A and B are shown apart, each in its own frame.
Chain A
């Protein structure tokens, strides 16, 4: 058995075995998952990073019409670019906490209204200019200006004042928000010289790489920044190719044109993983697919009918057949373990008897109309049909209406009482709940209006004691789980793949795609 473990450890070190495989095979040897995880972590660390070389990425998302201005970046390829040349004040770390980037530390006042970020001394932009607190203030002002087209504008609305105080930047809020530091990790908020007001798309920042070659929507080349303050980045050169076609992206990885790709289609991920020179990685993220009911519209204003439909959903079947296993079951809240301050709750499972009980209690008669479309999430019409079948077993008749893709987001979603949709998730629970579950939210697509929920949400935002906050979020989750109009059958994973030419991919890092966008920095070309 020791030989077997030694062999497997070597496989991990050379990148030929993923964590899941390792744990699976260890289980076959009678080693528990926790133990296997520890051995895996040691093996993965034992692989010493190698400096130098070129890592090539094949990315989906990215268009000729994109801009290098961080305020206007919207897609996956753009995110990876920003991560190369720039840095925000702070960034999420691997455990869902925060680490300092341009700011070396931060602290909030007791009432969570005033926040102070200590700017790192002696670091420079890629044009040689030293980073000053004034640059930070100018950057944040550019993104919070009313005229701003920044994707981060929504996060900045509550800011009353931003000012310089010595080496600190002080942010004053209109109302308490314990999550402000998380908001500052938003990928749009890269610190630029002079706030980027003169030349927002100059791509000058404090990042570990410097853009050398830019062909929008086609190809980008970045080289190591010799003056970078931190220790991030092994490869000398990082090349990003925009390959929007799924088949072409996978073929590019298989034929060795690129080393790392995002968004492997779940349908074919199993086939891709069979190739000896390719590792498929999955990371659970905050994105989820939903069936949403308007809590204020008949017949869904009856909580028993909502519960009946929730119990009639076979979540595991959805994960198996719609996500092909690349995902996890949802629990009728928009929150999963990828969020900070998440706490477990009893899992709701498929229970035709309970569904029938609540259905009978609701007194509803006749069928329930569910609207769906191809673009509401991948495989939505199939998921609706599965739901129809599992509900039938509980005696609930669901009528499916297929809507056209065109106009789905304006005519059906947030307009019709019961439909399929998806959410990409938000960095914090507060953001997610404020965006879609607060009574007054524009995007309250379940018309969920619960006074108690709103009160806890606002109180939690101002609460600095993390244990208390965690309990508050657990209470809120329970309310949505029991009374909300959300049926959340599944959270979809990020499915990504790398070739064995590169090592260092770590699964399960919270945040955005590809190790929160840092895969090219943290991976290396094997010697």
Chain B
């Protein structure tokens, strides 16, 4: 098991390095925003004294490098700083927003990932027959329509016309799990429709690729049924590319749902970030950027690790 541990350690170290580089990039990005931060917070009517006070308070008089390292060391201690607009501790206020975003992403993933893989398998089984064509047509249509439009259409049909689910996906701590699930039903549906096609098409392509192999023919010749061949022989060998695309879509579910959050008034990270960008609340923007980057890098790292573990040649080196 020596070499594989080394491989994994290397991969994790690489991710951490990448995250460090991203943090530098985020910090630099907020530095090159036009205008002085203190000026943009206080507005045009700011007095010189107030500007000087705020600059000192924000530590803007120190060189950028030392500010970067004090920000970074704060993060290692779990201190994301305080928001300029509300003066609240960022870690505390992001906490509930992040957990809301993860809650929505979790349920969307729980439905969309198994569904996508199942539909992908089904398409392979009935390749070029009507079920395959129907599945491809429906999923490709839904990925081609802008997500906010799908949101509006579902809102009109399901919430306004049928009255089944709520059009406002606002959740709060006072709600039971059942009420919460009822509230997020529509956004989960939209997100499922949006991410389905990508994962389903990848599953289909990867398995079809494997299906060309000689050992699949052997399996068929020894008399296994179509779905059994896919399940036992094709799927395990196609797992790496599938996990890759699944992880990419999970990352999207966490970091890319700003539009859906706005349309369904969902109190998640996206809305929180947009509000603070509008007010130039730099510490909050930095913190959100870093969290999004960490999610993205982390999920990609998991995909890579699964690929490594799923590859017998890496698991059992000669």
Contact = CB atoms under 8 A, between A and B. Distances in A.
B155 A251 contact: yes
Interface stretch (B112-120, B137-145, B265-273): B265-273
Contacts of A219: 170, 172, 267
A65 B86 contact: yes
Interface centre among A64, A241, A251 (most CB of B within 10 A): A64
Given A63-B278, A64-B276, A251-B156, A257 B168 contact: yes
Contact of B167 (A65, A215, A257): A257
A216 B281 CA distance: 15
Given A63-B278, A65-B275, A251-B155, A243 B265 contact: yes
Interface in B259-313: 262-265, 267, 271-272, 275-276, 278-279, 281
B160 A251 contact: yes
Contact of B168 (A147, A215, A258): A258
A252 interface: yes
A63 B159 contact: no
Contact of B279 (A63, A242, A255, A258): A63
Contacts of B167: 248, 251-252, 254-255, 257
A252 B276 contact: no
Interface string B78-94: 00000101100000000
B103 interface: no
Interface residues of B, number: 28
Interface residues of A, number: 27
Interface string A42-55: 00000000000000
A241 B170 contact: yes
Q: Main SS of the interface on chain A?
A: loop
B163 interface: yes
Interface string B237-269: 000000000000000000000000011110100
A155 to B, nearest CB: 15
B106 interface: no
B136 interface: no
A247 B168 CA distance: 11
A105 interface: no
A63 to B, nearest CB: 4
Nearest to A153: B45
A395 B265 CA distance: 50
B219 to A, nearest CB: 52
B152 interface: yes
Contacts of A337: none
Contacts of B166: 255, 257
A185 B316 CA distance: 79
Interface in A214-259: 215-219, 241-245, 247-248, 251-252, 254-258
Contacts of A247: 152, 155, 263
Contacts of A245: 262-263, 265
Enumerate the 10 nearest inter-chain pairs by beta-carbon distance, A residue then B residue, closest first. A64-B275, A65-B85, A255-B159, A63-B275, A251-B167, A218-B267, A254-B160, A65-B279, A257-B168, A255-B167
21 contacts: A63-B275, A63-B279, A64-B271, A64-B272, A64-B276, A65-B85, A65-B86, A65-B278, A213-B172, A213-B174, A219-B170, A241-B168, A245-B265, A247-B152, A248-B264, A248-B265, A251-B155, A252-B265, A255-B159, A255-B163, A258-B168
Interface of B: 50, 83, 85-86, 152, 155-156, 159-160, 163, 166-168, 170, 172, 174, 262-265, 267, 271-272, 275-276, 278-279, 281
Given A66-B86, A257-B168, 5 more contacts: A65-B279, A147-B50, A218-B267, A251-B155, A252-B167
